[in-house]
Structure 1
Amino acid sequence: METVFTADARMTSYWWERSPPETSVLDELPATADVLVVGSGYTGLHAAIVLARGGRKVLVCDAGQVGFGCSTRNGGQISTSVKPSFDSLAKAHGEAVARRIFEDGRRSLSWTEDFIRSEGIDCDFRVVGRFHVAHNSKSFETLAASIRNQPKGLEVPAHVVPRAEQRSELGSDIYHGGIILEKHASLDPGRYHAGLVRLARQAGAEIASSCKVTAITRSGDGFSVETVRGRVAARNVVLATNGYTGPLSQWHRRRIIPIGSYIVATEELPEALVDKLIPRDRVVSDTRRVLYYFRASPDRRRILFGGRVSMGETDPRKSGPLLHQEMLRLFPQLSGYRVTHSWMGYVGYTFDTLAHTGEQDGIHYAMGYCGSGVGMAGYLGMRVGQTILGKAEGRTGYGETSFPSRSYYFGKPWFLAPAVHVYRLRDRLGI
Structure 2
Amino acid sequence: MQSDIFTEDFKTEPYWWEKSPRPRLRKTAVPEKIDVAIVGAGYTGLSAALVLARAGRSVVVFDAEDAGWGCSTRNGGQISRSIKPGYEQLTRRYGADTAFEIIREGSRALEWVTDFVASENIQCDFAVPGKFTGAHNQAQFEAMARAADHQPEGLEEPLEVIPRAEQHRELGTDAYYGGVVNTSTASLDPGLFHQGLLERARAAGVSVVTHCPVAGIEETAPGFRVKFPGGSVRAGNVLVATNGYTGAEAGWQRRRVIPIGSYIIATEALSPDLMDRIMPTNRMLGDSRKVVYYYRPSPDRSRILFGGRVSASETNPLKSAPLLRRDLIGLFPELENVRISHSWMGFVAYTFDTLAHVGTHENIHYAMGYCGSGVSMSGYLGMRVAQKILGLKEGRTGFDGISFPTRPLYTGRPWFLSASVAFYRWRDSFNR
Name the TM tier (shorter chain).
over 0.9
Q: Aligned-pair distance for 1:249?
A: 1.6
| Distance of 1:305 and 1:185 partners within structure 2 | 17
| Distance of 1:229 and 1:184 partners within structure 2 | 45
For residues 256-289 of structure 1, the C-alpha deviation after alignment (integer angstroms, 9 at most, x for no partner) is 0000000000000111111111111000011101
Aligned to 2:287: 286
Q: Secondary structure at the match of 1:213?
A: coil
Q: Secondary structure at the match of 2:215?
A: strand
CA contact (8 A) 1:97 1:400 kept: no
CA contact (8 A) 1:29 1:229 kept: no
The answer as to 2:278 corresponding to 1:277 is yes
Aligned to 1:329: 330
Q: Secondary structure at the match of 1:288?
A: coil
| Distance of 1:420 and 1:125 partners within structure 2 | 32
Distance 1:56 1:179, change over 3 A: same
Residue type at the aligned position of 1:173: D
Aligned to 2:392: 391
Aligned to 2:262: 261
Aligned to 1:318: 319
Give the count of matched residue pairs: 431
Q: Aligned-pair distance for 1:393?
A: 1.0
Q: Secondary structure at the match of 2:82?
A: coil
| Distance of 1:25 and 1:245 partners within structure 2 | 24
Q: Aligned-pair distance for 1:77?
A: 0.2
The answer as to 2:242 corresponding to 1:241 is yes
Which segment is superposed worse, 400-409 or 187-196?
Answer: 400-409
Which segment is superposed worse, 362-371 or 391-400?
Answer: 391-400
| Distance of 1:391 and 1:146 partners within structure 2 | 37
Alignment of 1:92-131 (within 5 A): 92-131=93-132
Q: Aligned-pair distance for 1:368?
A: 0.3
The answer as to 2:38 corresponding to 1:37 is yes
Residue type at the aligned position of 2:152: P
Q: Aligned-pair distance for 1:103?
A: 0.9
Alignment of 1:145-164 (within 5 A): 145-164=146-165
Alignment of 1:5-404 (within 5 A): 5-404=6-405
| Distance of 2:47 and 2:343 partners within structure 1 | 28
Q: Aligned-pair distance for 1:25?
A: 3.6
For residues 16-65 of structure 1, the C-alpha deviation after alignment (integer angstroms, 9 at most, x for no partner) is 11111122242311211100010000000100011001110000000111
| Distance of 1:248 and 1:2 partners within structure 2 | 40
Q: Aligned-pair distance for 1:430?
A: 5.0
Which segment is superposed worse, 257-266 or 247-256?
Answer: 247-256
Structure 1: which 5+ runs fail to align?
A: none
| Distance of 2:224 and 2:191 partners within structure 1 | 32
Aligned to 1:419: 420
For residues 287-324 of structure 1, the C-alpha deviation after alignment (integer angstroms, 9 at most, x for no partner) is 10100010000000000000000011001000001000
Which segment is superposed worse, 246-255 or 67-76?
Answer: 246-255
Distance 1:129 1:223, change over 3 A: same
Residue type at the aligned position of 2:85: P
| Length-normalised TM-score, structure 1 | 0.99
CA contact (8 A) 1:265 1:303 kept: yes
| Distance of 1:408 and 1:220 partners within structure 2 | 32
Residue type at the aligned position of 1:327: L
Residue type at the aligned position of 1:238: L
| Distance of 1:346 and 1:28 partners within structure 2 | 30
| Distance of 1:278 and 1:354 partners within structure 2 | 32
| Distance of 1:20 and 1:62 partners within structure 2 | 16
Residue type at the aligned position of 1:323: L
| Distance of 1:105 and 1:351 partners within structure 2 | 18
Q: Secondary structure at the match of 1:280?
A: coil
CA contact (8 A) 2:28 2:207 kept: no
Q: Aligned-pair distance for 1:112?
A: 0.7
Q: Secondary structure at the match of 1:3?
A: helix
Segments ≥4 residues shifted beyond 3 Å: none
Q: Aligned-pair distance for 1:80?
A: 0.2
Residue type at the aligned position of 1:302: R
Q: Secondary structure at the match of 2:391?
A: coil
